[in-house]
Each structure stands twice: as structure tokens, then as C-alpha cells.
């Protein structure tokens, strides 16, 4: 059996932005299994990928010993090709017929998806369009999500008020105002986030008019994907959940203040952004975000028909 190896990235959003490269490799080598080196904080999004071979993790707390253990496990394999989106040294230590690393990549666009894709594109026999990002879940998680969402039927708006850095977070009071401005556009509100977002999520849950369910800190990554699949729009900060929503083909609006949206915005036709004036998030009015979301949903509806 032909095997490829993809060394991907750690953070949730970064991992999602590498999945177009993973999918393109599968399309170019449809009978191959693709082993992946990932990170435990995000790799659950890959475990149900139908063409995944084996999933490897580097044991970071183990330091160099963990790295040497990983290299030893990989050296027991024979790979047709290794694509490394993370390091510039690992492929040279492995048994591979072909290697593609970041410094060998051809010209690419500004976006991280384009730059990752350029690394893998060296192995493609012909030019191809960049596939859409994808994340995978399972039927058990979908059933669990369906049971959770029974209390909030109809058109569901997802709001994710958190991020990995407080400076990326649009003010919580603005999210409350936004949800209330959108009460005629949606039937219910779903609040997603990590355990660190639970305080903000509880406030949002109690202060909005729409019937809502607070799932912050209550779902696994697989369950969060399944929840997103059953919702109708997403609004959130520059965070991994925004990339997951876009990969689930949910119309997505990401609020940017500080950051580099040209490089890190969620990828795809269903993903839009709104940027705060002078990167000052408090200056971005809820009414402007509501208008941006309504316009994005109208554009997507027109395209879908």
C-alpha cells in the first residue's frame, strides 16, 4: 500500500487551513493512505478522515526524548512522499522517495492556505484549484448534537464570543446587541466556545432575546463540528471555531480587530469578514456587523440558487 506523510500544524485554525493540502494530496494519490503528524489539541478533527492512515503526535512535554520517539516511529515506515508544513528538517530523517518542505515551495499567495498548498503542490502532476477546507466528525457526535439542539429549533445562529487572546475579542456587550438585532433573521442562538469562554457565554445566554443554548465548554471538537453542521450562520472572533464553521460550509462572518485577515481569515466562498476601524474592536458597531451578516447571507442565498 502506498503511504504519504503530512506534517501539519498545532492550533485548530492552523490545522483547518492545512486540510486543502491534505485533500489535494488524496485527489492526486487516491489509493494512498496518508499518515499525519499532528497535535493533540486539534487532531481530533482528522480522526474520521476517510483516507487517513495513522495519526502520530509529538509528545512535547517529553522534550527531545519525545521527538526522538516520534522520529523512530516514522523511520519504520517507507513513504512515497513526505510533505512538511511545520519543520525544515524532519523529512530528511525519514525514508521517502520525495520530500516537499516550506523552503522548497513555489510562489504562493498571501493567505496561509495558499502558502500551505504551494508546499504540497510540488507533488501534484498537474495544476489544480485549491480545495475547500474540511473537518470530519462521526454519526455518534451528530446524534449527540441533534439531541442538544432540539431545544433551539429553526434557523440557528452560532455566536462564539471567545478567542485565544483577549485582544481579538469583540466586546461582549456588542455580541449581546448583535444577537438582539438579529432576532427577526433567526429563530434561536447557539453559543460555542471553550471552558475559558464560559463566563462570557453565560452572560450572552441570559441577556439575549432569542431562545438560546449555552454549549461553551460542553462539547468536544467532534461534537462542535456536528453542532455547526446543523446551524445556519456563524459569527465570531478570529479563532479556530470560525475556521471550523467555514470548513462545515456554514455562512461565516469573522470579526477582525488586530491581526492579519488577508493571511488568516477563514477560507472559502461562505466565509466573510468585517474589520474594525483602525483595528479598534470597541469602535465596530453591532449594527454594522448585523448589516454585514445580512448582506453575506443574501449573497450566499443568491449563489446557492
> Which residues in the chain land under pLDDT 70?
305
Q: What is the pTM of this model?
A: 0.95
Q: Which domain holds residue 243?
A: 139-304
Domains identified in the chain, total number: 2
pLDDT for 148 equals 97
CATH number, position 202: 3.40.50.2000
C-alpha cell at 61: 512535554
User: In this structure, are 223 and 157 located in the same domain?
Assistant: yes
User: In this structure, are 231 and 264 located in the same domain?
Assistant: yes
pLDDT for 106 equals 76
pLDDT for 62 equals 76
User: In this structure, are 287 and 181 located in the same domain?
Assistant: yes
pLDDT for 231 equals 98
pLDDT for 77 equals 95
129 belongs to a structural domain: no
Amino acid at each position: 500500500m502506498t503511504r504519504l506523510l503530512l506534517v501539519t500544524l498545532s492550533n485548530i485554525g492552523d490545522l483547518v487551513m492545512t486540510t486543502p493540502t491534505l485533500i489535494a494530496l488524496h485527489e492526486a494519490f487516491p489509493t494512498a493512505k496518508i499518515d499525519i503528524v499532528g497535535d493533540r489539541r486539534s487532531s481530533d478533527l482528522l480522526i474520521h478522515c476517510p483516507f487517513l492512515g495513522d495519526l502520530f503526535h509529538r509528545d512535547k512535554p517529553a522534550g527531545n526524548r519525545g521527538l526522538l520517539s516520534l522520529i523512530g516511529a516514522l523511520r519504520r515506515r517507507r513513504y512515497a512522499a513526505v510533505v512538511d508544513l511545520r519543520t525544515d528538517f524532519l523529512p530528511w530523517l525519514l525514508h521517502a522517495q520525495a520530500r516537499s518542505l516550506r523552503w522548497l515551495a513555489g510562489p504562493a499567495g498571501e493567505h496561509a492556505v495558499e502558502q500551505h498548498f504551494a508546499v504540497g503542490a510540488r507533488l501534484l502532476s498537474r495544476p489544480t484549484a485549491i480545495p475547500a477546507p474540511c473537518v470530519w466528525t462521526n454519526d455518534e457526535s451528530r446524534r449527540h448534537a441533534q439531541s442538544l439542539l432540539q431545544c433551539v429549533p429553526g434557523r440557528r445562529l452560532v455566536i462564539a464570543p471567545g478567542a485565544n487572546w483577549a485582544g481579538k475579542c469583540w466586546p461582549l456587550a456588542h455580541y449581546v446587541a448583535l444577537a438582539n438585532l438579529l432576532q427577526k433573521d433567526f429563530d434561536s442562538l447557539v453559543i460555542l466556545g471553550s471552558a475559558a469562554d464560559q463566563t462570557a457565554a453565560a452572560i450572552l445566554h441570559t441577556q439575549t432575546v432569542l431562545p438560546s443554548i449555552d454549549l461553551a465548554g460542553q462539547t468536544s471538537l467532534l461534537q462542535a463540528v456536528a453542532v455547526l453542521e446543523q446551524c445556519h450562520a456563524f459569527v465570531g472572533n478570529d479563532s479556530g471555531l470560525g475556521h471550523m464553521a467555514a470548513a462545515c460550509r456554514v455562512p461565516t462572518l469573522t470579526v477582525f480587530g488586530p491581526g492579519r485577515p488577508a493571511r488568516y481569515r477563514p477560507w472559502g466562498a461562505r466565509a466573510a469578514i468585517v474589520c474594525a476601524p483602525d483595528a479598534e474592536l470597541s469602535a465596530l458597531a453591532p449594527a454594522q456587523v448585523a448589516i454585514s451578516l445580512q448582506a453575506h447571507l443574501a449573497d450566499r442565498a443568491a449563489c446557492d440558487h
